[in-house]
Chains A and B, each alone.
Chain A
Amino acid sequence: MDRLLTIWIASLAQESPDGSTLRDYLALLDALSVLCPFTEPVRLGLLALPVRGPSRFFGGEEAVLEAVRQTVHDVVGEEPLLGVADGLFCSELAARAGVVVGVGLTECFRRAQPLDVLGRKDLATTCRRLGLHTVGAFADLEPARVAERFNTHATQLHRVARGELSELAGQRDARLVARLAQLRGEDDVHDEQIGFFGQRGAGDDRAQAAAHRVRRRLGVDAVVVAALCGGRGPQDRATLVPWGSPESVVRDDAPWPGQLHAPSPATTLAHPVAIELRDADDQPVRMGSRGFLSGVPTTLLLSRYARRDVVWHAGPWPIVERWWAVQRRRAHLQIVLTTGEAVLLVAESSRWWLIGIYD
């Protein structure tokens, strides 16, 4: 989870009928992009930027906070609320409170929050009746318990509470990027995908029209295409982007494996699922610091009741990613189950995640 600086500007949160809010927001985004090119428009009133890189450049987080405060003051003429924490969810909470959460203290900060911050009144009420008042208390529930008692929405919230997801589902405004692009006058360019479809023929135009229809039915990001972007090998060149989006947004947590040989999993989970591996003595199998497994995996636990027997495994193959920012120690593991299914796991921060199914 990235350490983010989140900026909350109350006067830019409300849409104005003449569109002035959106224009001010765009002006502020452009000004902040000069400070940090990775500044993200989250939704109206809210922006976020990764704080680690800029703080090295400006000489500390305090200096970045001051620079951002000054920029907002110059552009909007208002004092923003600023906050720093890991992940968008906690970072926004920090901004609302106007605090900087120390490195490594985000977990404590999140757990101490009241349940209302998850944004679901019904869930908060139910939990209060169960005697659960904080996010931490909710997070301590077994995932299986939550799944059987609440709906899927609550399972997502539970993952946010546990820190497995860094943001709430509705926290981002998915349409905002497209609207800002439209305001900049770049809309026509994006919808055409010039140079992406190569030479255009009648078939391409028909396909474009069809994609438009689906987008009108289901929303702007309903249709996605694979973007082929530059990479070191044939394996790390493809990513999925909404059809008609300005450019391929290469996410550093892209779930498809980068350095594995073919065959690759035909299903790569956009939201990896936390699982457990046990050995023959029912002890958890962990990835040691030298890249060895602590035992031979024999059972895969999707939840407490869904166990699958492992007949074969290969790996772990260590992967080093983003070596210039954070050293992440991760490793891939291939597993074949007794049912004949093959899956791809990744070990990260001493947990196992299901990231791919060889369907």
Chain B
Amino acid sequence: MTVSGYSYEHMFAFSTKRPTLPDDLVATLRPVALATSRRLPLGEPWRALVPGGGLRRGSTVVVQAPPGSGGLSLALSLVSEASTRGHWVAVVGVDDPGVVAIADLGVDLRRVLFVPRPRGAWAESAADLLDGVDLVVVRPPSRAAHGAARKLMDRVRERSIVLIALCEPSAPWPLPADLSFDVTRSQWITSSRLDARYLTVRVAGRGEAVRSAEHVVVLPNRRGRAATS
């Protein structure tokens, strides 16, 4: 059995036999999975809502929201923690990103590449960026073609990075995602100005991921950040 290059024999070189462990301790042990390096970290409030507390490398995340109801903020809040931990992010097809809002969400702008108007070549641009960054956020200008989406997801799995596709319900992502965030309701809280927005988000996934559940999060709050309600 080999874990990242080290064999057990090598680790216990002083003894040819494996050490014997008490049975009750063995029962609590789990195989080494290097969970933290296989997942990109998530910030509040998503850490508690996503299995493993992070985005699994090689997976595709779909954020689906009606236009203007917080989908963009949600997608960017998913990358904020990873960017502050040194991971590079590319944002393809978001035409006019509001830099101040993105900075307020906690995204480290020094590690974000924007490709605002990829014209017809959003899938190709995203594929170009896969080799250089750890997270790619794409907003296809119209319904993504099945073939292009399949190719992109395959490349993402191969390169062990995370793809976040931002779609509208009228033009959904053509393939099932590993994890999906569905904005079902968005409600602004106002005083003498816009204060905060309550988003009802249905988080669903497949495989190890959760059964679908609805959560209410504040995005953005008074300081422009994502928070638990």
Residue among A197, A203, A222, A264 making CB contact with B118, cutoff 8 Å? A222
Q: By the criterion CB–CB under 8 Å, are A264 and B104 in contact? A: yes
CA distance A210 to B102 in the complex (A): 22
Residue among B68, B100, B133 making CB contact with A235, cutoff 8 Å? B100
Given contacts A235-B100, A267-B72, contact A262 B197 (CB under 8 A): no
Comparing A32-40, A62-70, A224-232, the segment that makes contact with chain B is: A224-232
CA distance A265 to B96 in the complex (A): 10
B58 at interface (Cβ–Cβ under 8 A)?
no
Residues of B within 8 A of A262 (CB): 100-101, 104, 220, 222-224
Q: Tell me the smallest distance from the CB of B82 to a CB of chain A, in Å.
A: 12
CA distance A275 to B94 in the complex (A): 22
Residue of A nearest to B116 (CB): A224
Residues of A within 8 A of B76 (CB): 266
Q: Tell me the smallest distance from the CB of A205 to a CB of chain B, in Å.
A: 9
Q: Is the interface of A mostly helix, strand, loop or mixed?
A: mixed
B186 at interface (Cβ–Cβ under 8 A)?
yes
Q: Tell me the smallest distance from the CB of B191 to a CB of chain A, in Å.
A: 8
Q: Tell me the smallest distance from the CB of A349 to a CB of chain B, in Å.
A: 22
CA distance A358 to B197 in the complex (A): 10
Residue of A nearest to B223 (CB): A262
Contact with B along A247-266 (1 / 0, CB 8 A): 00000000111000111111
Q: By the criterion CB–CB under 8 Å, are B98 and A196 in contact? A: no
Q: By the criterion CB–CB under 8 Å, are B104 and A206 in contact? A: no
Interface residues of B in 175-214 (CB under 8 A from A): 186-188, 190, 192-194, 196-197
Given contacts A226-B102, A359-B71, contact A210 B97 (CB under 8 A): no
CA distance A226 to B103 in the complex (A): 10
Q: By the criterion CB–CB under 8 Å, are A312 and B71 in contact? A: no
CA distance A257 to B104 in the complex (A): 13
Residues of B within 8 A of A218 (CB): 115, 118-119, 121, 125
CA distance A262 to B98 in the complex (A): 12
CA distance A213 to B117 in the complex (A): 15
Q: Tell me the smallest distance from the CB of B165 to a CB of chain A, in Å.
A: 15
Q: By the criterion CB–CB under 8 Å, are B125 and A214 in contact? A: yes
A357 at interface (Cβ–Cβ under 8 A)?
yes
A208 at interface (Cβ–Cβ under 8 A)?
yes
A30 at interface (Cβ–Cβ under 8 A)?
no
CA distance A196 to B221 in the complex (A): 30
Q: By the criterion CB–CB under 8 Å, are A266 and B125 in contact? A: no
Residue among A201, A204, A268 making CB contact with B98, cutoff 8 Å? A268
Residue of A nearest to B109 (CB): A226
Interface residues of A in 205-225 (CB under 8 A from B): 206-211, 213-214, 217-218, 222-225
Residues of A within 8 A of B117 (CB): 222
Q: By the criterion CB–CB under 8 Å, are B188 and A208 in contact? A: no
Comparing A151-159, A296-304, A332-340, the segment that makes contact with chain B is: A332-340
Q: By the criterion CB–CB under 8 Å, are B194 and A358 in contact? A: yes
Known pairs A224-B113, A267-B97. 6 more at Cβ < 8 A?
A224-B114, A240-B97, A240-B114, A268-B101, A312-B190, A358-B68
Residues of B within 8 A of A (CB): 67-73, 76, 86-88, 90, 94-104, 109-119, 121, 124-125, 128-134, 186-188, 190, 192-194, 196-197, 220-224
Residues of A within 8 A of B (CB): 196-198, 201, 203-204, 206-211, 213-214, 217-218, 222-226, 228, 234-235, 238-240, 243, 255-257, 261-270, 312, 314-315, 334, 336, 339-343, 356-359
